Structure 1
């Protein structure tokens, strides 16, 4: 069975974590397959990506059986993070197009933080987000300690990380952890509709938005103002900017191509 499924819809594609019998928990093979799928999505013909999970959950994080130690020695979990999780988060964040995540069911541990690394997160109302690391004496990884305080503030971030209590999709949306909670039977439809829409938008401009927002987390205001100037200069030179202006003046729907030049 393929650990990751790819459904190419032309201008966008669906990437599905496919270990449903293990709640799509990560092993090395699934990491490698997902890395390959995300690298393939860099194809300019692909203008948006939808990430989701097969079965009754999005992702339960690390498959602990895959990092089990049999000789009694303490494991070096940093190796797994260096080899797999950190590169995965960096791939998602650096992808020069929107990445939508549809969280179906549980997103736990690294699975929760990988979902939160995506640009727009939709979740089924029955979905749960769990920073489960503290239950086994670990620290939130996959960007969790960076994402949580920025998304929901220190107080909530510390409580989620230390108590490891699940929160539902509606609470996550209310806190600003995710974009929206939707009815379970509408999740896939809404996520596909959103991704298909993003694939018709000015892709280069969206990529520059990602770049600007990512830099804002560490930039001073002066540095961010300069970055906005530089990125706006790039955006203004794209064919989609010219098309957007022409369409606005003509009062018609723009036909964006997503091309850089």
Structure 2
């Protein structure tokens, strides 16, 4: 049986929850381009799942340490070094092992971002490559420093795009542009990423953290239940038909109106005062 991944060193993945309900999640391996190890990936997934259930967390900012790299993908060197050899009576790569590794690794990480019930902002502070691109694209809002760039690096290594890249890109920029990005693997500057809809806003590098904090604080002060349900509706609308989408919308409205924030919004409107949202 494969060994369970160890927890990453505490300083390789930073997690901090502020008094305003904004959680900051920082990939802290700048010496390795903030590439993600297996233990880091598992901790990221756990943190995002925990954020969904924690009423103290109302928005999440995901970024990388340093000024050069957001995330340069999976740390293949670390993965290879920690991999256990197969038993001597089995081939080096049993059938289905690659598919299982992708499904249990990069795809779970991207899904954890998409499924997080709190808004997640990517603050892309430098190069995002491979799964690093998809980690950003899976976030609800993407801010990028003006010196950031995105690289679908898979083709440069002779690899098919993975980690949900085809799924995300086709929905965000359409199939033709998605193929261009995946087929050529060229550097995509932040300004061009904004122009084609992969980035919400590009800001000067020295203003990125401040802007991300401001956006996250606005979200954290909002009606968390309604935001989470809205996120779910938009994500699922890309996959279902109209009838299913409208049915889910009606159910979401029903759920939202049983929440305290939903009731508070109506009371505040009727009483002509600013609402005081509490996150449930």
TM-score under structure 1 normalisation?
0.93
1:6 pairs with 2:15: yes
Shift of 1:80: 3.0
Q: Does 1:58 align with 2:66?
A: no
Q: Distance in 2 between matches of 1:16 and 1:217?
A: 29
Matches within 5 A, 1:90-239: 90-239=111-260
Q: Does 1:251 align with 2:276?
A: no
Aligned length: 259
Structure 1 position 255, deviation (Å): 0.7
Q: Counterparts of 1:35-54 in structure 2 under 5 Å?
A: 35-42=45-52, 43-54=54-65
- Any residues of structure 2 matched to 1:69-80 within 5 Å, and which? 73=92, 76-80=97-101
Moved over 4 A (4+): 69-76
Aligned to 2:27: 17
CA–CA separation in structure 1 for the residues paired with 2:158 and 2:200:
30
Task: Note the residue ranges of structure 1 that are not aligned, 5 or more in a row.
Answer: none
Is contact 1:113-1:141 (8 Å) kept? Answer: no
CA distance in 1, matches of 2:111, 2:173: 21
Q: Distance in 2 between matches of 1:135 and 1:48?
A: 35
Distance 1:190 1:89 in 2: 24
> What CA distance in whole angstroms lies between the structure 1 residues aligned with 2:30 and 2:195?
28
Instruction: Return the TM-score normalized by structure 2.
Output: 0.87
Aligned to 2:42: 32
User: CA RMSD of the aligned region, Å?
Assistant: 1.9
Deviations 1:93-132 (A, max 9, x none): 1111101110010000000001101111100011001110
